[in-house]
A and B are shown apart, each in its own frame.
Chain A
């Protein structure tokens, strides 16, 4: 089946630094990728949608200059948290879908970000 690899699984960074999270579709081409954020004991919240080769579409309230998303190829999307602060500490999850598959959403295993 379709596999999405997300790295790193957990990262600790100092306040003010940037962190990059990678999301790769291993055995299919992902025309669209989605990034979610999940705080403890809460549901997944959609942050942005990215289509290969175009700018990401951010949900209301998500700062596009803080959460940089790049989807330069059909198998790789990256989320960079710039100038991270402790309130950015969260569980970040990516998801990928392929063209023509309305039901085929595959999720990465998530990245636990802790900003100290």
Chain B
């Protein structure tokens, strides 16, 4: 799995967009970018994933640069309940192999 780099922490005002960056400069052609989040004392929750095109779902948008060396997770209207640790994981999708978590970004949303 390619190494990822994320800021340790970020702050966001409630109602504003939260943009969480992830650097994955050594990503290979068949590796996807996944985002998970972990709210305090809960199990991780899947958010979104993509290969090279931008993706959007009901939770967030994922913007991947053209060279695929970095990506940004966008929470369009952050709420207090979005306060969590956000993990960017780069890997080849392969059933039976575990997700390996880095340190992630602690996002704090305040009113």
Pair from one complex: yes
Interface residues in chain A, defined as those with a beta carbon under 8 Å from any beta carbon in chain B: 4, 6, 31-32, 34, 36, 43-46, 49, 51, 91, 93-95, 97-103, 105-110, 112
Known: A43-B85, A107-B45. 5 other contacts (CB 8 A): A34-B99, A51-B96, A93-B43, A103-B93, A109-B42
Question: Cα distance A64–B100 when bound, in Å?
Answer: 20
* A-B contacts, CB under 8 A, total: 61
Interface residues in chain B, defined as those with a beta carbon under 8 Å from any beta carbon in chain A: 32, 34, 38, 41-46, 49, 85, 87, 92-104
Question: Cα distance A103–B95 when bound, in Å?
Answer: 8
CB neighbours of A102 from chain B (8 A): 92-95
**Dominant secondary structure of chain A at its interface with chain B:** strand
The answer to whether A44 touches B44, judged by C-beta atoms less than 8 angstroms apart, is: yes
Question: Cα distance A97–B38 when bound, in Å?
Answer: 18
CB neighbours of A94 from chain B (8 A): 43
CB neighbours of B44 from chain A (8 A): 44, 93, 95, 107
Closest to B46 in A: A105
Which of B85, B87, B98, B102 is the one whose CB lies under 8 Å from A46? B98
Rounded to whole Å, the gap between the CB of A98 and the closest CB of chain B is 8
The answer to whether B98 touches A107, judged by C-beta atoms less than 8 angstroms apart, is: no
The answer to whether A105 touches B99, judged by C-beta atoms less than 8 angstroms apart, is: yes
Closest to A51 in B: B96
CB neighbours of A98 from chain B (8 A): 95
